[in-house]
Amino acid sequence: MGIKVDQSSLAKLLESMEAEISKINRKIDTALTYAGEAGVSVAKQQGNYEDQTANLRSSIGYLVHTKGQKDKVAGFEQFPPKPTKRGNKHAKRIGMKVGRNTVIEIARGLSADHALVMVAGMPYAEAVERRGYDVLTRGALEAEMIFKQLIK
């Protein structure tokens, strides 16, 4: 005596579950992207430090990681250097490149199914924060708050 399982019903159930999982994954990715955009915007606009070369602001961006998919890297844009009396035309514009490389390097070690990685990629960013300036903290808090609101 055994139990008969209708294979077509089981297949439909699995198909329905896979569709729902895909829908949830898309919602998570959309929320992470929106949170990343908002967080980077706050960090760049409200950072209370002087950025002589514009490299620090230019190195701020984010990456959305979804396991099994290509990571989305965004937010890195070149800001113009601050004008100085002696001129700043010789300042190396490396912020974008350093930021992108930093966020990609961090993402290589991710094992989570979904992740948002925000960075200020210049090596001195942490030291600027330790001196009491806001480089990325306010932006990261904004991203976390928005993600929590969107994912409810």
pLDDT tens-digit series, residues 34-93: 999 999 999 999 999 988 888 999 999 999 999 888 899 999 998 887 766 555 565 578
Residue 103's nearest CA partner among 78, 81, 131, 71 is 71
- CA–CA–CA angle 22, 151, 63 (5° rounding): 75
Report which secondary-structure segment, H or E, holds 144.
helix 137-151
pLDDT at 11: 83
Q: Which domain holds residue 53?
A: 10-151
* 129 located within any domain: yes
Let me know if residue 3 belongs to a domain.
Answer: no
Q: What percent of the chain has pLDDT over 90?
A: 64
46 domain residue, yes or no: yes
- Entry pTM: 0.85
Look at the chain and report how many structural domains it folds into.
1
* pLDDT at residue 144 tops 60: yes
Rounded to whole angstroms, the Cα distance separating 64 from 149 reads 17
How far does CA 143 lie from the centroid of its chain?
A: 9
In a domain, 1, yes or no: no
Nearest to 122 by CA among 50, 57, 42: 57
Nearest C-alpha neighbor of 139 from the set 75, 53, 65, 94:
75
